[in-house]
Structure formats: C-alpha cells, structure tokens
C-alpha cells in the first residue's frame, strides 16, 4: 500500500476569508466601498471562518480617500460593528506608506494601535522575505503587535527564481521561528505554484515550522490554483485562503464553494457552518457588480507567460485599469513583455510589493515613451541603491550596465542621501506630539491626525463624501422599490405576506 496522505488521517481543513481585501484588490482594483463592505460583512461573520482579512493598511487608506472619496476610519468601524464573531486580520508594515516615505517608530506604532482599536483586529501578518531582512524590521514591528494582543503570522513569499530553492524557504522558515509566530503564511501572490513545487516546498516548510499552523494564500493566475489547494490539503496544510464569488477565481483566490466541495471529496471536514450566509453574500456582491459594472471572477485560460512576468494577482487588475486611463490599454502585451526584460535586468527580484509595482510602472513608461529607460523612475534608482532590500531585491545580480545607468542618473545622489536619512528615521522613536504640533493638530483626535499625516494634508480629505448604500433586503419597502427601478431586467415583481399582496411593474 502507498503512503497514506495527511488528508485522510487528520481529516480537517480550516478556511479563511480574504474577499474584502485581496479579493477586491485582485478583481475590482481595490474599488471596495463602504457600502459594499456594509452589505456583506455580517454575512461573512456568520459563515464560520477562522479569520477575515481586512483592507487596513495605510495604502488602502490612501486609495479610499483619494479615489473613493470615503473615510477609511468609518469603514473600519463597519468592521468592528459587523464582524464580531470572527477574528480579523490585517497586514503590518514597517512604514505607513510602503511606496513612499519612511516613518518614525512612534508614528507607526500609533497607526497600528488605532487600526487595531477601530476595527477590532486580532491578527497581524507581515511579509517575511520581500527584502530578505527580517532582523531589520521584525525586532521592533512584532513587539508592536504583541503589545496590542495580536497574533503574528509572517508570510513566506513564494516566487520562482534560480535562488529560491526549497532549502532557501526552509532556511527562511527557520529564521522566522526564532520570532515565535502564531502561524506562517505561504504566500503565492503571483499564482505561480505548481503541483510539483507544492509537493516539495510545503513539506520543507512544515519540517521547520514544527507544528506551527501554515496557511496557503495562492492566486489563480496559473490556472493550477485548484489543484495546488487540493494537493496542499492532502499534504496537511492547516488553513486555506478563499474568496466569495464574484471576487473569487480569475486573478483572485479559490472560491469558498469550490474549496468546500473539494474538501468533501477528500473526506475532510471544515469550519464553515453557515453556507446560506455565504450564498447571500454572493448574491449581494453579484448584484453590486452588475450595478457598478464591475468584473465577475471566472477561471482563466492557461497563460504560460505568467511564469515569465510573474505579476501578482493584486497588481494585474490595477495595471489594466491604469493602462486604460493612460490610453494605452491596447499595449498590455507589450508592457508584459517589457516586465520580463526588466526582471532579467534587475537580477530576478521577488515580484511582490513593492518590486512588482515598481517594475510594472517602469515597464509602462518604457512602452509609452518607446525607448527603454529613456525616463528612469526613482524607484529603479532606489532599487539599485539597496533601499528596498538586497538579495531578494536582486541587487547583487543586477546587470552591471543597467545598475551603472541607474546609479549615474542625476537623481541618484539625492536619493542616496534621502535613503541615509530614512535609515536614521527608521531607527528613531520619534515624537508624535511634536508632529501633531507641526500640523497645528494638538487638539485633534488621533484618527483625524493620522489621516492628515497619511494624506500629507487635508486637501483630499475635504473631498470625502457620505458613503453610498446598497440594498440588502433589510431596508424599508420604498428603498427596495428604488433599487428595483435601477434594474431594467426586472419587469414585474409580486410579493405576498398573509392577506397582503403587492404587485410591482415597470416598462
């Protein structure tokens, strides 16, 4: 007889929900508004998930203010009010705006204190190997979360390269274990895991994790997602990240309904206790997608190119949107080809935040200008300087002629000096009260002060509008009629309760 899989012996899988954060980022380019969240948050809470991931990083805050014109603290309060049974998780970073300035530690600490309090967070996760410098951030980031009573889940970020062998990931896991994590996330942001790789990679990580729960976070870019999830279940993965359709599939995560079905086929039990609540959430999200002309997640056709450009699921939707805004949406394939060339130029850096955004942006500029590196973005120069890491950023393996071009750029010297000041700032405790005073916000609330600081002023904050609501079935009859009138596919609706009868018609 063959070796019995862990799936048949342990017979249990736990599902986590990432619909509101990564699902929305992957499918709707982060366009998940207050009203959309409010329409489904309680249903997600009722489903029985182990945890629900929330868009609580400062990058999300900036987007919500700048593009959705909504108050992110108001959205956070929805999470606290509507999600009361399920653990809530969010990403913790070393700075407030991962793609911008660094921050003194006291400011970072205050932000996460506010985020945890306003949304009722119970878990923080952080990216462990985007910069291959755990000892630079973990010693002071993890105590912030621990002091807030948070669980900690470092994310081991998978990407294929000549350097990232199973031994590399085993060694990374061993380093992470020194920080006593509550769980470890195997994060496949690009959807690049294959059956062959998961069969060797996961056991290598499990061996070093020594019983610490491992969660699988994998996107659908390669079309192998379902197979990888099933294989991981067989190998004894503890938790799997899922989404509710229409924010599942495509470049997003596996559908919770598909994951539950495959668990059943494997004769595994799971933690979902209220399927009707999930069906209701799916119904509402589908209706919202139709009203707002947002895409519906569907399995992708196999594209071998993803193993070359490696663009994460959460970045590809934003890329399409931004190219369309620039009027070069038809040049997506050219940009993807250019991404491949830049990855080789930079020494195969890990294609996850922030490198994925940097490389995609430079590729778009190269294509738009018609000449490679005619305009060099500052982030490329910063990469060559080592601002965003060293080994995982590819710096030792960067093509010499490309590195020389970046470092000889007129912006290289001021950026180098800025990086030096940044390193000094990262090591400082800083003074929040002094910063408040400089803004003239000594008497402002913590939330108002922090949002002002994140947005670098109040010009965009002043444009925040009252949030839009969506019909959920719990509102008064007049609101129901108003919402029905927007859907021209509904020509007639009859309702009856007892002896009362109602007939709604529209031409």
Q: What is the 3-state secondary structure (H, E, C) of 168-220?
A: HHHHHHHHHHCCCCCCEEEEECCCCCCHHHHHHHHHHHHHHHCCCCEEEEECC
DSSP 240: E
- Whether residue 436 is contained in a domain is answered as no
Instruction: Name the burial class of residue 458, with classes exposed (0-12), middle (13-18) and buried (19+) by CB atoms within 10 angstroms of its CB.
Output: middle
> By CB neighbour count within 10 A (0-12 exposed, 13-18 middle, 19+ buried), where does 299 fall?
middle
| pLDDT at position 307 | 87
Whether 461 maps to a domain, the answer reads: no
Using CA atoms, how far residue 40 sits from 79, 88, 284, 285, in Å, is 11, 15, 7, 8
91 and 208, same structural domain?
yes
DSSP category for residue 463? G
The pLDDT averaged over each successive group of 10 residues in the chain (507 residues) is: 47 96 94 96 98 94 96 97 97 71 85 95 86 76 93 92 92 95 94 96 98 96 93 98 97 97 97 98 96 93 87 78 84 93 94 88 93 96 91 91 97 92 78 94 96 95 94 64 66 68 67
241 by DSSP, 3-state: which? Answer: strand
Q: What is the CATH classification number for the domain harbouring 317?
A: 1.10.472.90
pTM of the predicted model, to two decimals?
A: 0.84
Burial class (CB in 10 A: 0-12, 13-18, 19+), 205: buried
Residues 232, 364 share a domain: no
Distance CA 27, CA 317 (A): 6
User: What DSSP state is assigned to residue 255?
Assistant: B
Give residue 303's pLDDT: 84
Indicate if 338 and 224 belong to the same structural domain: no
Half-sphere exposure of 497 (CA within 13 A, CB side): 0
Nearest-angstrom CA–CA distance, 181 and 465: 40
Contacts of 261 (CB under 8 A, 6+ apart): none
Residue at a domain's end among 426, 441, 472: 426
- Residues making up the chain, counted from first to last: 507
pLDDT of residue 9: 44
**Same domain for 269 and 312:** no
> Are 118 and 447 within 8 A, CB to CB?
yes
Dihedral over Cα of 431, 433, 439, 445: its sign: positive
Tell which residue, 314, 140, 358, has the closest CA to residue 219.
314
Same domain, 12 and 155: yes
User: Which CATH number do you get for residue 201?
Assistant: 3.20.20.70
C-alpha span between 118 and 98 (Å, rounded)? 21
Do the domain assignments include residue 443? no
The reply to whether 492 falls in a domain is no
Q: How many CB atoms lie within 10 A of CB 446?
A: 17
Q: Which two tokens stand for residue 486?
A: 């927007």
pLDDT at 130: 66
CA–CA separation, 27 vs 25, rounded Å?
A: 6
Is there a domain that residue 100 lies in? Answer: yes
- 252 in helix, strand or coil? coil
Residues 256, 340 within the same domain: no
Looking at 371, 404, 426, which one is the last position of a domain? 426
Q: How far apart are CA 117 and CA 111, in angstroms?
A: 10
Helix (H) or strand (E) run with residue 52 in it:
strand 51-53
| 495 is a domain residue | no
Residue 424 pLDDT:
79
Identify the domain containing residue 101 by its residue range.
6-292
Report if residue 456 sits inside a domain.
no
Give alpha helix (H) positions in 391-473.
400-407, 412-426, 432-439, 446-455
How far is residue 52's CA from residue 30's CA, in Å, rounded to a whole number?
A: 16
Cβ(186)–Cβ(164) below 8 Å: no
Q: ∠ at Cα 152 (148, 157), nearest 5°?
A: 140
Is 466 inside a domain boundary?
no
């Amino acid at each position: 007889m063959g070796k019995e899989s862990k799936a048949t012996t342990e017979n249990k899988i736990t599902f986590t929900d990432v619909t509101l954060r990564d699902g929305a980022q992957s499918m709707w380019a982060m366009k998940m508004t207050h009203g959309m969240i409010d329409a489904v948050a309680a249903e997600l809470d009722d489903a029985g998930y182990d945890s629900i991931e929330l868009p609580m990083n400062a990058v999300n805050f900036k987007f919500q203010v700048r593009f959705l014109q909504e108050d992110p603290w108001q959205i956070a309060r929805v999470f606290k009010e509507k999600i009361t049974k399920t653990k809530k998780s969010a990403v913790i970073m070393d700075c407030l705006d991962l793609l911008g300035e660094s921050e003194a530690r006291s400011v970072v600490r205050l932000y996460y204190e506010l985020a945890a309090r306003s949304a009722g967070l119970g878990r923080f996760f952080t990216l462990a190997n985007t910069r291959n410098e755990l000892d630079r951030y973990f010693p002071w980031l993890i105590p912030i979360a621990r002091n807030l009573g948070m669980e900690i889940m470092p994310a081991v970020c998978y990407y294929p390269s000549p350097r990232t062998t199973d031994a590399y990931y085993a060694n990374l896991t061993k380093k992470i274990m020194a920080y006593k994590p509550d769980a470890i996330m195997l994060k496949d942001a690009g959807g690049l895991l294959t059956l062959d790789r998961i069969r060797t990679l996961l056991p290598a990580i499990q061996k070093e994790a020594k019983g610490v729960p491992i969660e699988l976070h994998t996107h659908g870019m390669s079309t192998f997602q379902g197979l990888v999830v099933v294989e991981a279940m067989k190998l004894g993965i503890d938790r799997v990240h899922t989404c509710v359709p229409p924010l599942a599939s495509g470049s997003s995560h596996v559908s919770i309904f598909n994951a539950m079905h495959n668990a059943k086929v494997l004769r595994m039990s799971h933690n979902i206790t209220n399927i009707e609540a999930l069906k209701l959430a799916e119904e509402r999200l589908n209706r919202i997608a139709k009203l707002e002309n947002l895409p519906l997640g569907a399995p992708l056709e196999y594209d071998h190119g993803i193993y070359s450009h490696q663009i994460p699921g959460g970045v590809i939707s934003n890329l399409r949107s931004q190219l369309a805004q620039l009027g070069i949406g038809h040049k997506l394939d050219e940009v993807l080809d250019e991404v491949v060339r830049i990855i080789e130029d930079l020494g195969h850096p890990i294609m996850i935040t922030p490198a994925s955004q940097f490389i995609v942006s430079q590729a778009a500029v190269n294509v738009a200008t018609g000449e490679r590196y005619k305009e060099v973005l500052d982030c490329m120069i910063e990469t060559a300087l080592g601002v965003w890491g060293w080994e995982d950023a590819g710096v030792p393996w960067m093509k010499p002629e490309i590195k020389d071009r970046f470092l000889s750029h007129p912006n290289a010297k001021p950026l180098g000096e800025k990086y030096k000041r940044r390193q000094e700032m990262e090591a400082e405790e800083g003074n929040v009260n002094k910063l408040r005073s400089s803004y003239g916000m000594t008497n402002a609330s913590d939330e108002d002060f922090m949002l002002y600081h994140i947005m670098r002023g109040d010009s965009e904050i002043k444009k925040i509008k009252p949030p839009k609501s969506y019909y959920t079935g719990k509102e008064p009859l007049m609101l129901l009629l108003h919402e029905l009138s927007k859907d021209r596919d509904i020509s007639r609706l009859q309702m009856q309760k007892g002896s009362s009868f109602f007939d709604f018609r529209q031409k």
